[in-house]
Amino acid sequence: MSGARVSAFDRWYLRDAPPERIAVLRVLVGAFAFIYTVVRLPDLWGYSDFSDSRFRPVGVTGLLDGPLSTTAWHALLIA
């Protein structure tokens, strides 16, 4: 790209934005996360029905001796 195009893009892309714009973005991202979680809740809730033999620790769960109890998993989902 030529220097003039880059400069024009920088003026457009890096211009100051009102704080309301980031506030709207935060609300939209929060609403998406909430709706996504509510829609997926039945699937996530069902993970507590898996047998202990299916537990394969990955990442941080490697610190656990076994899977979370059903009560702990449901409490975590509701929180």
- Tell me the CA end-to-end span of the chain in Å, nearest whole number: 50
Amino acid at 52: D
Reading the chain (79 residues) residue by residue, the pLDDT tens digits are 567 778 888 888 888 889 999 999 999 999 999 999 999 999 999 988 888 888 899 999 899 988 999 999 999 999 8
pLDDT of residue 1: 56
**DSSP result, 14-53:** TS---HHHHHHHHHHHHHHHHHHHHHHHHHHHHGGGS-GG
CA angle, residues 23, 29, 31, in degrees to nearest 5 = 100
pLDDT of residue 2: 67
Give the residue from 73, 36, 31, 32 showing the smallest Cα distance to 52: 73
Confidence (pTM): 0.62
